[in-house]
Amino acid sequence: MTGFILVSNSGKKISLEQAYHPCPRCKNQSSVQLTRSEKSFIFLNKRITENSRVRYECSQCKWKNQMLPYDARESAELDRYLSENSNSNEDLYNELSSTSTHGYSP
């Protein structure tokens, strides 16, 4: 026999990425992940509301935010990478822009 639910407020969390990020609050280097939280309110076996939210969450201190704070170190690494590979990036850009303006011909 199945049970009858009078009132329930259930929810679940799903990790959307395998990468971990440092937490801005507790400074743990691998505790923040992009997570989808789903919550539903059930009354007399009828689902009344269902909310879904995507945000970053820390598994250690429960910090939550819609986006990660700006990390100057990662930006510096990206700038360094782009400057080291600027010639190959320019060649690729020129090649892509010439095919888009002149059309692709095999």
Question: What are the tens digits of pLDDT across the range 28-42?
Answer: 888 999 998 888 877
Q: Evaluate whether residue 106 is within a structural domain.
A: no
Share of the chain above pLDDT 70, in %: 61
Q: What is the mean pLDDT of the chain?
A: 75
pTM for this prediction: 0.52
Same domain assignment for residues 52 and 78? no
**Residue-range definition of the domain harbouring residue 97:** 70-101
Nearest residue to 49 via CA among 87, 9, 96: 9
Nearest residue to 19 via CA among 29, 7, 8: 29
Phi-psi category of residue 70: left, alpha or beta, with phi > 0 → left and psi -120 to 50 → alpha: beta
- Residues paired with residue 34 on neighbouring β-strands, in sequence order: 56
| Number of domains within the chain | 2
Same domain assignment for residues 32 and 64? yes
Tell me, what's the pLDDT at 102?
47
Same domain assignment for residues 47 and 77? no
Token match 């691998």: residue?
Answer: 30
Same domain assignment for residues 24 and 35? yes
- Tell me the per-residue pLDDT of 66-96, one tens digit each, with 9 for 90 and over: 877 766 566 666 667 777 776 655 665 666 6
Same domain assignment for residues 92 and 55? no
- Residues paired with residue 15 on neighbouring β-strands, in sequence order: 35
